[in-house]
Amino acid sequence: MKILIVDDEDFIVSSISKILEKEGFEVEGAGRVLEAKEKLKQKSFDLILSDVKMPGESGISLMDYIREKGIETGIVFMTGYGDIKDAVSVMKKGAFDYITKPFDREILLNVVKKYFEERKLKKELEKAKSIVGLYRIALTVARISSMDEILDEITSICREQILCDGGSVGIVDEETDSVFIRRAWGMRKEKAEGTIWKIGKRPSGFAVKERRGIIINGPLNTHPFFKGEEVFEPIKSGMSIPMLLGERVVGVLNFKRIKIEKPFTEEDLEKGFVLAEISALAISNARLFEEMKEIDELKSKFVLTVSHEMRNPLMILSASVEVLENSKNLDEVRKVIEILKRNVERMKYLIDDLLDYSKLEKGELKITKEKVSSRKIVQASISGLKQRAEKKNMEIKTYVEDFEIFCDAKRMEEVLVNLIDNAIKYAPQGTQIFVGAKKEEDRGIFWVEDEGVPISKKFHKKIFERFFRIDMPLASKKGSFGLGLSIVKELVRLHKGEVFIEAPPEGKNKGNKFIVVLPIENPAPLSGAGRGDK
């Protein structure tokens, strides 16, 4: 254990050094406060014994320096009988104790030993506090709560376990390749919460990309990795730690010291990693909890949707059969047969959606790729829908650049049929539908565009979710489960492509354009769409 003695009298420094060295302490001396500060910059000391009044700076200024820099050490003051008021003053400022000159060997040793005993107890208390904090996180993990509850608990424990005056918890969004700050504390709390940083940018994104913790001392833009970055607040020391769950990064913990002078250390980083790893598991469980809730809601919605959509054609079929049994009018029989055909087709349409959805969910639906003409895919998709379009006085126009593409022709026809069918269903009578295909470098692009009411941008992602349907006044009576576009998304995903809606150009207040982008060449095979693939 290292002790620094600060006194302008060499005899006192020498005498105290001999007493303490005999007890096994490592001792150094300083004749002035300025000299003591220089020594503190170079090495750490467990305890400082300092005179109160010295030429130049006083012992009180030394204590102020230690507090300002966040140096972890205790200080005991030595003072004459006439300076008791000064001694009381420094005790109020945080000194461990004081002894009056002259003092004997036993008094000195008692004070020093008392300090180290109390320091040992304090460290054991901090260790116990850390264990309690980890235990609390472990309980949180075991409990499986909502994401908001988990994040609140993580934030609370991080503030308790790591000495800091600010920080945040960020969650990784893999779809947007970014970090979303969900919780923050300290200065700029309100501005920090809700901010989004691209992975690789700022300390949060850097820690996620590199999958390692990072400590930054001093202004952010003086660090070699972040030159030119905007500085939002005067952070003296910052630390960012990724939350790793196996090979996956689920989030990041950020800590900052603004008023605290002491920089973060490797010890802080190690402690932060323990918090980050347990927090990653807690967040994973929270996601599982939310998925379970979503599945329960989907089950309920599924039962209601299927019951409602299947009941209508069944009722019509039942009524039509009854009419056939009692009718002797040939024209009436023909009309009823047409009704039967339409509703049988409707039932087949619904059942096909259910079967495809079931296979996709189980990962049983496979695709078989071969080289196919883009023109052939588009023509096959349109052929069965022309009659439906004509009934609404709609015209389907095609703009097809013929090229060959590796895909499952049947499944790609299904994708386009779904998109064209939606256009017929939701666009007004007498409008046009445009279906096209073109080649751009190594990609094949297919699109279906209508002249209907534009789908709000807020629904552009949700519309591809299971059972999601927008109430559109122009929709025909033909029912659906709201599975069509979710099936489209999964079929496109199996082709390693993407599907999205393009908003109408500025100034145009009508039309929806669905775009499907696929690789031209045959990429690595991918089959099945189980939940784990998402």
Cis peptide upstream of residue 504 (ω within 30 degrees of 0): no
* Gap between the Cα atoms of 351 and 293, Å rounded: 26
Q: Average pLDDT over the chain, rounded to whole?
A: 80
Lowest pLDDT segment from 285-294, 325-334, 523-532: 523-532
* Gap between the Cα atoms of 120 and 216, Å rounded: 30
What pTM value is reported for the model?
0.45
Total domains present in the chain = 4
269 and 330 share a domain?
no
CATH at 91: 3.40.50.2300
pLDDT of 154 strictly over 70 = yes
The residue type of 359 is K
Locate tokens 């349907």: which residue?
A: 469
Q: What are phi and psi of 65, to 5 degrees?
A: -65, -45
| Residue 179: predicted pLDDT | 92
Q: Provide the pLDDT confidence category of residue 309 given band limits of 50, 70 and 90.
A: low
- Which among 93, 124, 155 is the end of a domain? 124
- Which among 124, 154, 171 is the end of a domain? 124
Locate tokens 């390692």: which residue?
A: 212
234 and 345 share a domain?
no
In a domain, 97, yes or no: yes
In a domain, 236, yes or no: yes
The per-residue DSSP string of 324-361 comes to: HHH---HHHHHHHHHHHHHHHHHHHHHHHHHHHHHHHH
Average of per-residue pLDDT across 344-353? 64
| Residue 398: predicted pLDDT | 92
CA 481 to chain centre: 31
pLDDT of 475 strictly over 50 = no
In a domain, 67, yes or no: yes
For residue 51, list its beta bridge partners.
Answer: 78
305 and 273 share a domain?
no
* Structural domain containing residue 271: 144-290
Average of per-residue pLDDT across 310-332? 64
pLDDT of 474 strictly over 50 = no
Q: What is the pLDDT of residues 55-64, one digit of tens each?
A: 888 888 888 8
Q: What is the pLDDT of residues 75-134, one digit of tens each?
A: 888 887 556 666 667 777 778 887 887 778 888 888 888 888 888 877 776 666 666 666
Q: Provide the pLDDT confidence category of residue 361 given band limits of 50, 70 and 90.
A: low
Report helix, strand and coil shares of the chain as percent, to nearest 5: 50, 20, 30
Lowest pLDDT segment from 87-101, 267-281, 306-320, 513-527: 306-320
